[in-house]
Amino acid sequence: MQLPTTPAADWITSRDALEQWLVALPAHASLDLDTEFMRRNTFYPQLALLQLGWQGRYALVDPLAFDIGDALRPQLGQGDIITVMHSASEDLEALAPLLPGGPRQLFDTQIAAAFVGMGLGISYRALVAELVGAELDKGETRSDWMQRPLTESQRAYATLDVVYLAPVHEQLAERLIQRDRSAWHAEDCERLKRRACFREGDPQPQQGFRGAAEWQPAQQARLRRILLWRDQTARQLDRPRPWLLEDALAMNLAQQPPLNAADLEQRSRGQRALRSPQRTELFDLLALPISDDEIAATASIPGTPQADAKKALAAMKDQVDALAVELDLPAGLLCPRKVLEEYVVTHRWPDFLEGWRRDQLHDRLARLLPG
């Protein structure tokens, strides 16, 4: 397997320089893009570096030096350039403040690889090895990308992350056409953009806590109240949610609200971002009674399928597996098991199964719902 040679890359620290680099791109160019970001101590990812590549030209853009959004939005957010990325979810989230809505046209190579029979969730390193025959070094994966200046090793690593996107994109795009999967891939890329760039919190976060599915409605409503507060406060403080309240503590407080402020302080020791003002705010929130309106506004938490629902789940899984073989797609790409569980329990068609998946699956699955 060939060892990659790192080409030269422009180090860009001003808006004018970035605009000059981008102006050379034709209207329908395929721009290779990657990011480096840090997310150890913050709620929001901190964009540390933007890597660009086009026809053998490469650039490392320093977002700590200037606001890169004004230069990116006209061509990536509004123009016809195809932005090629690998496993773009977290990169899009890091770019969201600068590029709301993400690139207008996104080609995600990890999603494309799944559609052409290369497996679900393949890494960029494995994809490059398979399609290009080059082995990438991952030695800088946990590097400090906020430091300046970057080391030569960091710059080389960052540049190579976009060097091979062009040949990977070219091969995957051709295979998508051969399999008539280009439209499906484009739809999933749009779905990825909407999910990654959505900056608001989940209005029903308690639905992810399946351990609370059998709780009383008032307890589920209190859990929702706690989780909504945690999300809002974590955003305001720009700190990870678990630093305010770990999941286990949130569930414990929902079931057994603190008797007094001292009780809350005792039970919440060790929460790194839960300072006195936040603790007081949380205690006041928990002291409020649960109203009928709040219970009505709280979506029920889907439980584990039982009895007839469990049999229906097994039958649906068989249908998904059979169709996946027929379409030559990973079953997890077509319909993950947790989505089937949600459907069986709630009887509501999942958002995940809209679009091309509805066309393929609705009639097969709807008839299997338990009465």
Q: Identify the CA nearest to 205 among candidates 165, 234, 166.
A: 234
pLDDT of residue 2: 54
pLDDT of residue 1: 53
Q: Are residues 51 and 113 in the same domain?
A: yes
Predicted TM-score of the model (pTM): 0.92
Q: Is residue 191 part of a domain?
A: yes
CB 254 within 8 A of CB 230: no
Which residue, of 271, 297, 323, is where some domain finishes?
Answer: 297
Q: Which helix (H) or strand (E) holds 267?
A: helix 261-267
pLDDT of residue 328: 94
CA distance 141 to 124: 13
Q: Tell me 3's DSSP state.
A: P
Would you write out the chain's pLDDT as a tens digit for each of its 371 residues?
555 678 999 999 999 999 999 999 998 999 999 999 998 899 999 999 999 999 999 999 999 999 999 999 998 998 899 999 999 999 999 999 999 989 999 999 999 999 999 999 999 999 999 999 999 987 777 789 999 999 999 999 999 999 999 999 999 999 999 999 999 999 999 999 998 877 778 999 999 999 999 999 999 999 999 999 999 999 999 999 999 999 999 999 999 999 999 999 999 999 999 999 999 999 999 999 999 999 999 999 988 888 899 999 999 999 999 999 999 999 999 999 999 998 999 899 999 999 999 999 999 999 999 87
Supply the CATH number for residue 214's domain.
Answer: 1.10.150.80
Total structural domains within the chain: 3
Q: Is residue 4 part of a domain?
A: no
Q: Are residues 60 and 117 in the same domain?
A: yes
CA distance 96 to 199: 8
Q: Are residues 149 and 75 in the same domain?
A: yes
pLDDT of residue 115: 98
Q: Are residues 320 and 288 in the same domain?
A: no
Which residue, of 197, 221, 249, is where some domain finishes?
Answer: 197
Q: Are residues 159 and 270 in the same domain?
A: no
CA distance 204 to 262: 29
Q: Are residues 31 and 162 in the same domain?
A: yes
Q: Is residue 292 part of a domain?
A: yes
Q: Is residue 313 part of a domain?
A: yes
Residue range of the domain that includes 286: 205-297
CB 40 within 8 A of CB 56: no
- Which residue reads 């040679």 in tokens? 5
Q: Is residue 3 part of a domain?
A: no
Q: Are residues 247 and 343 in the same domain?
A: no
CA distance 254 to 221: 8
Residue 205 exposed, middle or buried by CB count within 10 Å (0-12, 13-18, 19+): middle
Q: Are strands 46-54 and 30-38 parallel, antiparallel or unpaired?
A: antiparallel
Q: Are residues 237 and 104 in the same domain?
A: no
pLDDT of residue 196: 85
Q: Is residue 5 part of a domain?
A: no
Q: Identify the CA nearest to 242 among candidates 264, 219, 270.
A: 270
Q: Are residues 238 and 320 in the same domain?
A: no
3-state SS assignment for residue 166: helix
Amino acid at 215: W
Angle between helices 152-163 and 165-179 (to 10 degrees): 20
pLDDT of residue 3: 53
pLDDT of residue 215: 97
Q: Is residue 302 part of a domain?
A: no
CA distance 51 to 61: 6
CB 86 within 8 A of CB 109: yes
Supply the CATH number for residue 83's domain.
Answer: 3.30.420.10
Q: Are residues 110 and 241 in the same domain?
A: no
